[in-house]
Amino acid sequence: MPSLFKPICLALLALTLASAAEAGAISCPADSPLAVQALGSGGPIADDGRSSTAYLVWIDGASRILVDAGGGAFLRFGEAGARFDDLDFIGLSHFHTDHSADLPALLKSGFFSKRTRPLPIAGPSGGGPFPGLQNFLSAMLDRERGAYGYLSGYLDGSGGLAKLEQIEVPVTPDTPVALTAASNERFGVEALSVPHGPVPAVAFRLRLGEATLVFASDQNGSNPAFVDFARDADLLVMHMPIPQEADQAARNLHAPPETIGSIAQAAGAKTLLLSHFMARSLANLDENVGVVRSRYGGRVIVAEDLACVPVQ
């Protein structure tokens, strides 16, 4: 038996490694003019094999925009075949760990690239225990006091590193802000403050030619201005970490499925990408997606890590 068992085990191992390699090779089609890839479709609990929140926007086969960088984004970024050199913009929706914790790891990865051109990065202003973008970055990157002061070149462009051009978005008033410093010939960026309990948070709207992409961030859905912000989106990314029967404490932070469906319908979004799952919200996923569909007549896609959604 042992003489037979060993080759079988080796064969199974080779098959597993081959499968893992294939999974790691999942990427958006290089010939797609515009696609969104869910690098991380999970939330803050490490119980479902998913990376925390991160999305890539691919333009003509290049990884141009990163929205959020939660734990796991570093690994998925590499698996997706994304290039730090190609990034034109990083948007951080808020400073919960599951949206921001892998940023320094990605910056360190970029340390080994040839990139020197500046990189615009946007995030909300601070409030309560949460820093604004500038304090968040200096807490990590300040040469004297930062936890990763050895990467301080990202603050000032020294040492051959790409300077992060910081755009701190005021979280009041609740009207869209055009981020002209992040906009270029390929796309325009706007941000809108969204209610996420006590956490300062912003949603992002990207305009790329005729196409509109909206990343809702974590939010409870109670800012009526968000419907206009998401108006006619070709792709609306919304987070569904709680089930319909969630209690009020959870609903202060997150929109239940019914609210998500109502917002997508009112906005006239063409495609809704549901994301930010955990074991607790995956348990009755079909039921909760059904609640969304009962309110929304457009196309619904349930995100998985590395899933690619071509928009054009």
Q: Which is nearer to Zn ion, 68 or 79 (CB)?
A: 68
Q: How far is the CB of 19 from Zn ion (least distance, A)?
A: 32
Nearer to Zn ion, 124 or 146 (CB): 124
Q: Can you tell me the distance from the alpha carbon of 209 to that of 226, in angstroms, rounded to the nearest whole number?
A: 21
- 129-146: b (≥16 Cβ within 10 Å) or e: ebbbbeebbbebbeeeeb
Phi-psi region of 235 (alpha: psi -120 to 50; beta: other; left: phi over 0): beta
**Strand runs labelled E in 72-163:** 89-91, 119-124
- Which lies closer to Zn ion via its Cβ, residue 28 or residue 122? 122
Residue 168 near residue 134, CB atoms below 8 Å? yes
Q: Which residues form the interface with Zn ion (CB under 5 A)?
A: 96, 218
Which C-beta is closer to Zn ion: that of 102 or that of 218? 218
> Shortest gap between Cβ of 67 and Zn ion (angstroms)?
14
- Residue whose CB is less far from Zn ion, 151 or 253: 253
Least gap, CB of 143 to Zn ion (angstroms): 30
Nearer to Zn ion among residue 53 and residue 212 (C-beta): 53
Rounded CA-CA distance 217/191 in Å is 11
Q: What is residue 99's three-state secondary structure?
A: helix
Q: Give min distance, CB of 42 to Zn ion, in A.
A: 12
Contacts of residue 253, Cβ cutoff 8 Å, sequence gap at least 6: 196, 197, 199, 218, 220, 242
What is the closest distance, in whole angstroms, from the C-beta atom of residue 94 to Zn ion in the complex? 6
Burial state string for 65-93 with b = 16 or more CB within 10 A and e = fewer than 16: bbbbbbbbbbbbbebbbbebebbbbbbbb
CB 303 within 8 A of CB 68: no
By C-beta, is 106 or 202 nearer to Zn ion? 202
Tell me the closest approach of the beta carbon of residue 194 to Zn ion, in angstroms: 10
List CB contacts of 266: < 8 A, sequence separation 6 or more: 227
Closest distance of CB 44 from Zn ion, Å: 7
